[in-house]
Each structure stands twice: as C-alpha cells, then as structure tokens.
Amino acid sequence: MHLLYYSISFALPILAASSSDDSKHHNPCTIRSPTSGAFFDLNPVHVTLPEAGKKVPKDARNESWSARGYDYGANFTLNFCGPVIENLTDVVGVDDSRWANVSAFYKFEGKTYSIGQQNSEPVFRGRKLVLNYTDGSPCPSVPTSSLLDPADLDFDNISKRKIIGDDDDDDDDDYPKKPSHDDDDDEDDKPTKKPVKDSTTRRKNTIISLLCTSDPLAPEMAISFVASPDSCTYIFEARTSAACGGIETAQQQLGPGGVFGVIALIAVLVYVIGGCVYQRTVMHQRGWRQLPNYSLWAGIAGFVKDMVIILTSSCMRFLPSRRGYSRVGNGGIMGGSAGRRGRQNSEDENRLIDQLDEEWED
C-alpha cells in the first residue's frame, strides 16, 4: 500500500509539469499583464464568418464592429485580431493580395481606405491594453484632422490622386518645374517640393485602447472614435467585458480517461520497478521471486491455470471419440457408417459371434 502511495506521488508532479508546458503555449489574441499577472482574451469579440454546413447561433454577428466618425466625415468599420468580414475591393493604395487582411477601414467619396492590416498580438502600454493596426492606405501629403475641412480638402484630393496614379497635367503645378536661367532671381522665393517616393510614404495606422466594462447590461462592444490628428493615425476607445482581466483556463490535452490511464500506467511502472529493486536489494530474492508480492501473483497464476485445465477437460467430453471400440447398435458407429437398429443390428451381432467361434475352433 505504501508503494502505491509513492507511485501516485511520483506521477502527479510529472502530470503537473506536462500541464505547465502546455500553458506556456501562446494563443493568438491573448496576453498576460506584466504588472498584475491577469490574463486577457480578446477572442470573444473577434467576429468571424460561420463555417459552411454548421448551425449558426442566433446571436452571431453578420457584420464587423462600427464606430461613428461624427465631425471627421466618415464612419469606421473594424474587427479585433482579424480582418473584417466584409468583402473589400479597390482599397486605395493597397495591393489586391492584401485586401482580405484589412482589419479597419472607412469609405469616403465612394473610395475605400484601409487604416490597418490584421494584427492578433495585443500589447500593454503601461497599464493600458492596446491593439495596433499598421500598413494601411498611404497618408495624405498634407496633414489634416478632418475630411470635411474645406481648407484642406484640395490637398486631400491631390494626395488621393497621387495614390491612384492620376498623372494629369493639373498636377504639374504642385511640383517645381526645372528652373531656367531667366528665373534665377525668383528661385529663392519659390518653395521647393519633391514627390514622395513609395519607399518613404507613410501609411495609415490604427490604435485601439481597450477598457474594461463589468456592467452586465452594457453592450458587448462599444467603440468610440477619439481623434485623428493628421488623417494618418486613428485613435479609438473600445469598452468591452473581454478587456477585463481574468484567470487563464488551461487547455487540457487529455480527457479524463486519458489522465486516469497515464496515472495508472505510471503507478504500475513504479510499482513493478520499485518492487523489484526492493526484493533484490533488501530481501535478497532472485529470479521470478524478485517481483513484488510474488506469492500472491503466483497463486493467481496457478488458479487461472487450474481453471483453464478444468474448462478444457469439460469441453473435451463433448468432442467425438476417434479411438478405441464402439458398441455396435443403439446408434453406434461401425466402419464409418451409421449403426442400424432393430433386426439388422441383431444380425450383425450374430454374424460376428459366429465368425469368432469359427476362428476359435480352428
């Protein structure tokens, strides 16, 4: 009994170590706070399309999260830790191979602008949980805090024409012409502008600050647009219960039956190995007697052997006999044919007796 206790105590630390190794595996859209140690999982607010052939829950969303832009001039659509589920086409300044990875966008004057590509790694800025999307559409050449500002609207249109590759003659006024000898006196008065190359073009990005809301009556997600100081960086504030820290639930790789099987296997190994070592070193046993509780197992083996012999002997009586003599008549077998009844059987017996008498007289 003590050996069984030792076996279980040896098995439990091994299982604990294996479970701790599994917990080190990092899942997307999750993070642990470096200060408080709380675990954050944003997967509940990640909107995905239902798989084909599966039943769709009643509360499943069929569109991404949205936020009103108010005085900015455009409303925003975004998703968390994944691309938006809307089908986007003709995204300004973004290759068509990356349209499916856009995680936030807005539409203005019939055009779609990306404000960040997919990112499933939230980070902490101090005590703030932040999700950042980068590498969106190119930023305007002239910073503007609103799409509706009349003073900056012309510059915004100029920058958008540069993005879509509009090389009209009207754009020539926006770039300095090659100076001539007659214009030497005016060179110092003209501002010099250089076109921005693709390698140095700034691109739109998004910063989402996630705040915890524990009110059970609050909506699942409430997103507010905070500001965009230069139409290049967009700041949002999202309130959700998913941003409340909790305890990480370890994913069990084995079921209850598998865990019990592992414990039983380890206990048996420790019992056999430990028992053999004890019987050999302490009791000075050799051969099969080194096994723990040898007399018990030998008695069980003997009992099983006796039962097999008894059952085998009982079954052998039901098998047809192929050796020795068999009585002729009454359904007996002679010469491989069925015995005859009645008169034929008596005639066979008389014939056999007469034959034996003749042989005896000779």
Average pLDDT value for residue range 328-346: 51
Q: Are 71 and 146 in contact (CB under 8 A)?
A: yes
Q: What is the mean pLDDT of the chain?
A: 75
**pLDDT value of residue 162:** 39
Residue 98 pLDDT level (bands cut at 50, 70, 90): very high
When mean pLDDT is compared across 136-150, 267-281, 328-342, the lowest value belongs to 328-342
pLDDT in tens, 304-330: 888 888 888 777 777 766 555 455 444
CB atoms closer than 10 angstroms to residue 119? 21
pLDDT in tens, 102-132: 999 999 989 999 999 999 999 999 889 999 9
Residue 234 pLDDT level (bands cut at 50, 70, 90): very high
Average pLDDT value for residue range 208-229: 90
Residue 356 pLDDT level (bands cut at 50, 70, 90): confident
**pLDDT value of residue 9:** 57
CA 62 vs CA 85, 91, 241: distances in Å: 8, 21, 20
Whole-model pTM: value is 0.55
Residue 226 pLDDT level (bands cut at 50, 70, 90): very high
Tokens linked to 336? 């491989």
**pLDDT value of residue 163:** 36
Q: At residue 129, what are phi and psi to the nearest 5 degrees?
A: -90, 125
**Adjacent-strand bridge partners of 37:** none
Residue 99 pLDDT level (bands cut at 50, 70, 90): very high
Residue 174 pLDDT level (bands cut at 50, 70, 90): very low
Residue 253 pLDDT level (bands cut at 50, 70, 90): low
**pLDDT value of residue 115:** 95
Q: What is d(CA 311, CA 313) in angstroms, rounded to the nearest whole number?
A: 5
pLDDT in tens, 13-23: 555 555 444 44
Q: Which of 255, 246, 215 is nearest to 44 (CA)?
A: 246
Q: Are 220 and 45 in contact (CB under 8 A)?
A: yes
Residue 339 pLDDT level (bands cut at 50, 70, 90): very low
CB atoms closer than 10 angstroms to residue 136? 27
When mean pLDDT is compared across 186-195, 224-233, 253-262, the lowest value belongs to 186-195
Percent of the chain, pLDDT > 70?
67
Residue listed under structure tokens 């009844």? 341
Paired sense of beta strands 222-227 and 233-240, if any: antiparallel
- Kind and range of the H or E run holding 32: strand 30-32
Q: Does pLDDT of 180 surpass 70?
A: no
User: Which of the pair, 212 or 159, is modelled with greater confidence?
Assistant: 212
**pLDDT value of residue 40:** 92
Residue 343 pLDDT level (bands cut at 50, 70, 90): low
Q: What is d(CA 134, CA 234) in angstroms, rounded to the nearest whole number?
A: 10
**Adjacent-strand bridge partners of 246:** 39
Q: How far apart are the first and last CA of the chain?
A: 82
Average pLDDT value for residue range 62-73: 91
